Structure 1
């Protein structure tokens, strides 16, 4: 049974979040919704005090480097993870060994972002895992549809690999889960390091929508309607082939990937994406673990007041420790 906090959250999302991108009543542009979400994110969620941010410029966007600067974190002397490229060749092997990094692709329906909400979640994981994080701040649709966000994430990953010398985990939620899995498939294709593990939260993996249409229509999602899902999908695709694995990684070649953890709630429109991906990964010989938490909404691990979010964080930390530390 869902906690009382989850029941309250589901009610709030149904009344506030779901109608905001629906076409009923006054329809806001996606750009207007983005501005409103950013304002709410900054107003009501404080930035984690111990979280420091450096920016690595990219061609069209930037890569954010998150580090915890407090007594519970590794100091710079203890964690020489980043080595300037000019020094990498001559650095002693002992200094090349680094703590864990999370390459985390934030979600937001390809059109939005909530930097404070994600920073709080990522900071909590970094503290538990004694890790650092790299977060691509990719361009957003509809102004920048596919392939722009994917290309930004791929470029960010290349910059990350050029700087990081230790183990790492690729993570992503929602649309970020789509981009994270698409990134892993492209990295594998190019012979790049795909890390020790991957974690996907409520991922959107099939923009071709080839799953069970009855299940999709019957889903009691407090966050999305089918209409709003199609609206965001259309803004991102803009005529691109929805069967392209860079758009719908569910239809890619999944063999050879690192262990994957999939988490989702049972009230999600995207639940079928995660379930089918778990089946396809297992069929491809990839180590996969999946947990679908009853009555939880989309990306519920980011709602830190939920007991179920604490459970999800524990599952994530345990999974990463088993495969990466």
Structure 2
């Protein structure tokens, strides 16, 4: 398994120290419907990309936002599935980081407003992601990448396993940023990284899982792709912070893919927290990781 460990720069170390001080001064953010506006405001801190047009649309009956760099090819597309523990997040807020990815990949991306729990529990998010994928195929896209972060990263990998098995048009590439792939929260990093992760803990993760699953089995591969099928997946790029309690979700998934004969390119970033890639305005690591994501997707979606 290609595994890359990125050491933290001095500038990023200082920024992360200030970030940790700020987070300690804040009350713990509950991952719940009532905090959706705060979460969206936080995500929208990522600057909008220059040279990208943004347009609301419905794909496969599911609303979302297009992020279209000017003069992009029409054969390839990115389906982006946002984070937020399946209980928060919106495509409108995620236009900001998704537009940055689209600009760097030089290809259009559709950020999906999939169903959120507890109002619409499992498997609604999976079903809507699948409907959107099928609709993109129906629109004539021949090369489709699926990308996502956190819960959306897990949904990305769950969806990819399904369509790689049951659909004629397979995804061309996958990107997972700090993916949540195990709703049983059994990764060892929930213990080993507990003292250094000020954002997430096992209690928050289990609460989101319970809200989303609503009694369904946490081992269902549509919810926890670490328990699913790993054969036939396209190349996968994974970025994760070394200080995340979800670190082992990334490591275990990448190891499973390798054992199944696939390719998972895992990047672990020293000192970084959950979905650090969105902090391109303040972190050198985020800008480097985003550049790598763009290059990976541009290559995967190039017409051949």
Give the C-alpha shift of residue 218 in structure 1: 3.6
8 Å contact kept, 1:54–1:64: yes
Matched position secondary structure for 2:110: strand
Matched position secondary structure for 1:19: coil
8 Å contact kept, 1:242–1:248: yes
- Describe the shift of the 1:324–1:46 C-alpha distance in structure 2 as closer, same or farther (beyond 3 A): closer
Check if 1:244 corresponds to 2:245: no
Q: Which has the larger radius of gyration?
A: 1
Tell me, in whole angstroms, the C-alpha distance in 2 between the residues paired with 1:271 and 1:46: 26
User: TM-score under structure 2 normalisation?
Assistant: 0.87
Aligned to 2:4: none
Check if 1:8 corresponds to 2:18: yes
Tell me, in whole angstroms, the C-alpha distance in 2 between the residues paired with 1:57 and 1:134: 9
1:189-210 per-residue CA deviation (whole Å, 9 max, x = no partner) reads 2133222211100000011223
1:122-160 per-residue CA deviation (whole Å, 9 max, x = no partner) reads 212222222101222111111111111111111111111
Aligned to 1:21: 30
1:51 pairs, out of 27, 33, 53, with 53
Map 1:264-303 to 2 at 5 A: 264-303=240-279
Q: Which moved more, 1:263-272 or 1:191-200?
A: 191-200
> What count of residue pairs does the alignment treat as equivalent?
290
8 Å contact kept, 2:97–2:278: yes
Check if 1:317 corresponds to 2:284: no
Aligned to 1:111: 87
Tell me, in whole angstroms, the C-alpha distance in 1 between the residues paired with 2:258 and 2:230: 9
RMSD: 2.3
Matched position secondary structure for 2:54: strand
- Describe the shift of the 1:312–1:284 C-alpha distance in structure 2 as closer, same or farther (beyond 3 A): same
- Describe the shift of the 1:127–1:45 C-alpha distance in structure 2 as closer, same or farther (beyond 3 A): closer
1:267-320 per-residue CA deviation (whole Å, 9 max, x = no partner) reads 111100000011100000001110110010000001122111011112212322
Check if 1:198 corresponds to 2:174: yes
Tell me, in whole angstroms, the C-alpha distance in 2 between the residues paired with 1:102 and 1:198: 9
Matched position secondary structure for 1:291: strand
Using CA pairs under 8 Å that are at least 6 residues apart, name the structure with larger relative contact order, 1 or 2: 2
Unpaired runs of at least 5, structure 2 = 1-7
Aligned to 2:66: 65
Matched position secondary structure for 1:51: strand
Unpaired runs of at least 5, structure 1 = 23-29, 82-97
8 Å contact kept, 1:104–1:170: yes
- Describe the shift of the 1:111–1:177 C-alpha distance in structure 2 as closer, same or farther (beyond 3 A): same
Tell me, in whole angstroms, the C-alpha distance in 1 between the residues paired with 2:120 and 2:105: 34
Tell me, in whole angstroms, the C-alpha distance in 2 between the residues paired with 1:149 and 1:196: 21
